[in-house]
Amino acid sequence: MLRILTPPPRSGSLGNNEVMFILETLEERFRDGTLIGRGDIAAMTGIREGAVRTILQRLERMGFVRMSNMGVVLLPTGSDFLKATGITLMNLDHTSSAIGEYQVALLVRGMAGMIDKGVEQRDSGLKSGGDGCTTVVCKKGKLILPPDWDVESNTPELASQIRRYSITEGDIVLIGGSNTNRTMAAAAANSAALELLEKSRSGRTE
């Protein structure tokens, strides 16, 4: 049975948002088992190295990563956890279609039915300490910024980058934004993603 974060990740918690961001970064960059140092993780995520060490110790106790003097490696259990959430860190260029000097994008599988106008995701990003969160929905084969802004017609370069991730009907992209740093942008995106997961499990929609 798949183990989950203890306590379970919840929206609005910067600690859990940081945990998710580190896992997502390891999965996106080092899923092949490559070792990476704590300092490198801190540099890529913007999270303080002391906090990175604490989070990695927590993840190691859960069996998600393994640490040694050579570095950190993501284990299959950690990768499986992320797959179960349906969340994938995306490498997208900065876009004027989303808010924030710093932006972090997440692909979240199968959550389009939970989205109305994207207002709750924006607010979730704000509550996390970011400057907001922009939602893109794959609906009827099109990439739409709710309620009806066609991404492919207005920003084809963004649409092309999103399509590289094999986005399918019902998937969404959350672009967290912050004018402070990359960590807060990631917190905005993860807060919105985790809130959607909570609602999905409880059967609620916007």
pLDDT one-digit tens code per residue, 95-130:
999 999 999 999 999 999 999 999 999 999 999 999
- DSSP helix, strand, coil percent of the chain (3-state; round to 5): 45, 20, 35
CATH class of 14-84: mainly alpha
The answer to whether residue 132 scores a pLDDT higher than 80 is yes
Instruction: State the average pLDDT over residues 38-60.
Output: 94
Neighbouring C-alpha atoms within 13 Å toward the C-beta of 55: 21
pTM, whole model, 2 decimals?
A: 0.89
End-to-end Cα separation, the chain, in angstroms: 30
The predicted pLDDT at position 16 comes to 86
Indicate the fold that domain 86-202 takes in CATH.
Gyrase A; domain 2 (3.30.1360)
Question: Distance between CA atoms of 52 and 18, rounded to whole angstroms?
Answer: 9
Question: Distance between CA atoms of 18 and 192, rounded to whole angstroms?
Answer: 13
The predicted pLDDT at position 3 comes to 36
Burial environment of residue 96 by CB neighbours within 10 A (0 to 12, 13 to 18, 19 or more): exposed
User: Which helix (H) or strand (E) segment is 201 a member of?
Assistant: helix 182-202
Domain extent listing, the chain: 14-84, 86-202
Instruction: State the average pLDDT over residues 184-200.
Output: 94
